[in-house]
Structure 1
């Protein structure tokens, strides 16, 4: 294996670890801060850092006027829905439930591609859907499918995050003429700014309740998942085939679920493992290109 591919796999590992550990980190932070404010503040700060990196590299940060509608739509699906809905959902669902629900995104993208782009599902796409749904059924069967109102809201929000992100991926086919880092800076900045405003307007904030652990998690979420991991992800895509990179990123929910068991004491038994294997097998099949 050449040096470039080794670097690509190393960057992939850093990205998967950073995004994977972010799942229990969010759960920890939500014990002390409300979801929209915490995610919004971290995202706006990270976006400013990314914008500074863009300018330091001499890349363009201005958005062409004709690309603004596409940027706003991508911001809604990729950030406000994906990050915002998921973070709120984590108030009521476990890491294993939240992670497996949102990582079904490639399966829904395959389904959306049929009516929108005329790409009929192949037999393997049907298999991917069946495996993904079977994994979710196994995961939630331990509760006998009797959910409280809050739990149901969390499930709906996590599933909506996956479905809207998938819809955005299918509809957002035209490239916005910006570098990848500049594009992320704009999307994360705009999407998280809306979260921040909504959090300040509607959430109850108590900064005195933020412990040293909470501050540490907040700093981690700002710098690593929303900063370093985006840089390593783009480096991964530059050095590895997209299918390999996307499939490798399925390590993130596995890392999230396993680390949540150790950090938060969440259950990790046979049922959770079977659910992970089934769901992520379906996602892996959905990610493969013909």
Structure 2
């Protein structure tokens, strides 16, 4: 069959156009999954690394450093690429609102929560975010839950429950940590949904950079007030290396990549992609901090992988 036989009445270029578009969508989908996997790995490792940093550096100072270094780093990359740093006037209030939930509330609540919970277990509670994001996206974005997404959300909850169950009494011994981590999760979810709600004309890198800088400024003020007696010379090289990792890999790459993924996939699916972060956090916490690892991790990983297979492979039927 020749190219002209592809479809009656269509020329060869016209017949090939849908194929090219389908191939481009497939490549975009694949690249999105790859980016999501990298975010999962790097953010999972960041939990015990953050624990290392905040044991020596106060939370306000640690977050101020990581947010501002990450934010200005992203803006510098935009400048080097020849992009303008100007944000459209109509996007100023939306970006301030998103920054409040997506950066300030999330970063502070999650960091303070690490004082009361092991890093791996803290990540479990914080990463209930996909559930809150999926629920919030229904009234805010008008998204519909598909059968596959619903099943995957349930599997994701099973994955989280498998890891929370064995340490339930330990977690309940520090309820403040639970409150902080759940507040972090809900804030992140709301910030993510709001970011998807607004129509942005600026690039993801520029928006991410400004969010980190705008979020870092009030945190810096808090650090200057609460940590005036801090002697940075007494901080170990290990804590500084942990801060450097958070400022670069977790802030510059992961923050940009996450918002990029949010624009590519429905909120529920994008959230499901990071359900594996707690498992990565627990395993890396065991390797870096000596935190205990039990069979619940492997149950959680199995449920997570099954959830991802279901959501990416099943046809979409609305429920």
TM (norm. structure 2) is: 0.74
1:103–1:283: 8 Å Cα contact kept in structure 2?
no
Instruction: Tell me if structure 2 keeps the 8 A contact 1:96–1:272.
Output: no
> In structure 1, what is the equivalent of residue 109 of structure 2?
85
- One of 201, 210, 218 as aligned partner of 2:243: 218
1:64-143, aligned counterparts within 5 Å? 64-119=88-143, 121=145, 127-128=151-152, 130-143=154-167
Which of 25, 45, 48 aligns to 2:69? It is 45
Match of 1:54 among 78, 83, 86: 78
Query: CA 1:208–1:83 in structure 2 vs 1: closer, same or farther (change >3 Å)?
Result: same
Decide which structure has the larger Cα Rg and report it: 2
**TM-score, with structure 1 as normaliser:** 0.81
Q: Indicate conservation of the 8 Å contact 1:60/1:178, yes or no.
A: no
Whole-Å separation in 2 of the counterparts to 1:136 and 1:129: 10
Cα distance per residue 1:117-140 (max 9 Å; x no partner): 555656656545544444444434
Q: In the alignment, what sits opposite 2:232?
A: 207
Query: Shift in Å at residue 41 of structure 1?
Result: 1.0
Matched, 1:161 2:193: no
Task: Report matched runs for 1:160-239 at 5 Å.
Answer: 160-172=183-195, 173-203=197-227, 205-230=230-255, 233=257, 237=261
**Separation (CA, whole Å) in 2 of partners of 1:57 and 1:45:** 18
Q: Distance in 2 between matches of 1:286 and 1:8?
A: 14
* Distance of 1:209 and 1:260 partners within structure 2: 24
Equivalent-residue separation in structure 1 for 2:48 and 2:108 (angstroms): 16
State the match for 1:257 in structure 2: 282
Q: Give, in whole Å, the separation in 1 of the partners of 2:138 and 2:46.
A: 33
Residue 142 of structure 1 aligns to a residue whose secondary structure is: helix
Shift, 1:73, TM fit: 0.8
Q: Which 10-residue stretch deviates more, 272-281 or 159-168?
A: 272-281
Tell me the matched-pair count: 286
RMSD: 3.6
Cα distance, 1:289–1:40 mapped onto 2, change above 3 Å: farther
SS in 2 for 1:63: coil
**Looking at both structures, which has the greater relative contact order when contacts are Cα pairs under 8 Å and sequence separation is at least 6?**
1
- Give the conservation status (yes or no) of the 8 Å contact 1:12–1:236: no
SS at match of 1:80: helix
CA contact (8 A) 1:41 1:193 kept: no
Listed as ranges, the gaps of 5+ residues in structure 2 are 1-22
SS of the residue 2:83 aligns to: coil
Point out where structure 1 has 5 or more consecutive residues left out of the alignment: none
